[in-house]
A and B are shown apart, each in its own frame.
Chain A
């Protein structure tokens, strides 16, 4: 079973101090640490598990700058066979459609049963590349997979819906599946493994300037500070109780 996994290098922004470069409509990234997009890491693991079970090859594809090789090497260390890095000149101007189109173009000559992507990128949050890719390749897709049982030529996939509903689908290969976090437990890429993966192939594609986009980013800004916060007073036990009450009222508990 051959799988293609689309991975993206994203900045870790949870605790970092973020600054916006207004002229270029992007984040200032000098002080940020980058890694593989979390959902993509689960997508990669799913492909590696299938390779262990059914054999075949895992091919990693990423659209990004040369620094993307850091996460590609990690994916190769974990067991992917080879990789394709697509680096157009105008990377920061791409939208999901143009990224999907770039990937679809490179996959024309590849043989695959499944294409995995993460369900969403943590930086731009579009959730569209996987779905657009399926449309461009003319194959089926399922998004937001939380569980997957695979056979030789088909898979049964669960999608989690609002209100705790679970929908189960069966789809035949080839197909694109976009993966939610929590579907599996991603493995670790050791440093020695990453070094050894240096001998595996990363094919670099440089398509120059790529102008097939459909949407354009106008500006990037922080939301205005809201006045919704309420600070609970009292002992830890009292405040914890109040927090529980709020969570219950909002249907989260």
Chain B
């Protein structure tokens, strides 16, 4: 990495205090040490090695948000990764996810023609070119294809229909937002997706772009041109609907629930209250809280390409610690509002042997009145 790159991310300001590594969720279970990487890079600019460790990073942003010198640590890691991406020698799972995005518009290797199969029996309008809608629902790749995350898309579309919202989706034309692509260091593909999606959005008229995933939210809000004001996470939008009286929430869910703050919603976009407002509105009992919550929330290891990239470690995944903590606090439902968290935590419930004791649910699946079922049983 050149001196210019180091300056770009303020890496030269690093005082080697180590707060980054101390807060890093993966430094506990892998050899990744971001302070050490920066140190090596600063001392031996030409000879700096390409530590495979940088692929352990989940881009959760804990390091950057704790850095007293404001070093752009996550951008710096993306920069390091981009060097490896340019050389082509990257983790095969990351390669396959990126190639799938280029070919199919999603990282899951699934064909485009099945992108809106999640709709099933639900009534969801697919927007045609030139048409307008108040709310454009950006489903996202994981809620579109993953059977568990599909339930979030189905639940949210039922809620929006019940609230009488004029909403529509882009159907099979929808394409990956690129948030993880950028974080895996594939900056060329990210630029291409920004351009493609910007062109795609320009074919429709909408006032709000509601996302299910905080990852899509993050990149649309902060990294796309001329889109920021329209972008809103579904938890924010449902609170708006509730405040306007369009969405009636009743606190008849008797389960004990705890909320896991997704990194891309919480510490990266400071959305802490809305998920809690929704949960408090539907729970009979008080919402439980982790000790590590809000800006200290423990990353589930689903971000930054880690949905696909496995790391070497003999220690339990952070998601497994998280579900054990949830169980320790007495929760029956571990609520979150991110498809990646939903999947990593659901897997962790199985590996931790808590399947009979703890359910992981997206908030929209908790507040959605299922067809013919009572709240919370969707």
Contact = CB atoms under 8 A, between A and B. Distances in A.
Given A15-B114, A16-B113, A31-B113, A189 B88 contact: yes
Given A33-B104, A35-B103, A185-B92, A192 B111 contact: no
Contact of B188 (A12, A187, A195): A195
Interface string A149-183: 00000000000000000000000000000000000
A85 interface: no
Interface residues of B, number: 25
A15 B110 contact: yes
Given A12-B103, A33-B104, A35-B103, A191 B111 contact: no
Interface in B225-284: none
A191 B192 contact: yes
B10 interface: no
B315 interface: no
B89 interface: yes
Contacts of B94: 188
Given A15-B110, A33-B103, A191 B188 contact: yes
A186 B87 CA distance: 12
Contacts of A33: 103-104, 111-112
Interface string A57-81: 0000000000000000000011100
Interface in B87-128: 87-90, 92, 94-95, 98-99, 102-104, 110-114
A193 B83 CA distance: 11
Interface in B51-100: 85-90, 92, 94-95, 98-99
Contacts of B22: none
B92 A192 contact: no
B189 interface: yes
B28 interface: no
Contact of A190 (B110, B111, B186): B186
Contacts of B192: 191
Contacts of A16: 111, 113
B79 to A, nearest CB: 13
A191 B182 CA distance: 12
A188 B103 contact: no
B88 A187 contact: yes
A218 interface: no
A31 B103 CA distance: 12
Interface string A15-31: 11100000000000001
B187 interface: yes
A188 B114 contact: no
Residue picked from B94, B98, B114, B188, most chain A C-beta under 10 Å: B188
B85 A190 contact: yes
B113 A17 contact: yes
The prevalent SS among residues of A at the interface is loop
Contacts of A192: 86, 187-188
Nearest to B103: A33
B113 A78 contact: no
Assign chain A's interface to a size class: 20 to 34
Contact of A188 (B90, B110, B113): B90
A191 B88 contact: no
Contacts of A195: 188
B54 to A, nearest CB: 16
Contacts of A31: 113
A31 B112 CA distance: 9
A193 B90 CA distance: 14
A76 to B, nearest CB: 12
Residue picked from A186, A187, A188, A189, most chain B C-beta under 10 Å: A188
Nearest to A31: B113
Contact of A191 (B87, B103, B112, B186): B186
B353 to A, nearest CB: 15
B111 A188 contact: no
Residue picked from A17, A187, A191, most chain B C-beta under 10 Å: A191
Contacts of B102: 191
Nearest to B104: A33
Contacts of B111: 12, 15-16, 33
Interface string A25-43: 0000001010100000000
Given A15-B110, A15-B111, A33-B104, A188 B187 contact: no
B188 A188 contact: no
A188 B88 contact: yes
Nearest to A36: B99
Nearest to A195: B188
Contacts of A193: 86, 88, 188
A197 to B, nearest CB: 12
Given A31-B113, A33-B111, A190 B188 contact: yes
Contacts of A77: 88
26 contacts: A12-B111, A15-B111, A33-B112, A35-B103, A78-B88, A187-B87, A187-B88, A188-B88, A188-B89, A188-B90, A188-B94, A188-B95, A188-B98, A189-B88, A190-B86, A190-B88, A190-B186, A190-B188, A191-B102, A191-B188, A191-B189, A191-B192, A193-B86, A193-B88, A193-B188, A194-B188
Interface of B: 85-90, 92, 94-95, 98-99, 102-104, 110-114, 186-189, 191-192
Given A31-B113, A35-B103, A187-B95, 8 more contacts: A188-B85, A188-B90, A189-B88, A190-B88, A190-B186, A190-B189, A191-B192, A192-B188
Q: Which 8 A-B pairs have the closest CB atoms?
A: A191-B188, A187-B88, A192-B188, A188-B95, A191-B189, A188-B88, A15-B111, A33-B103
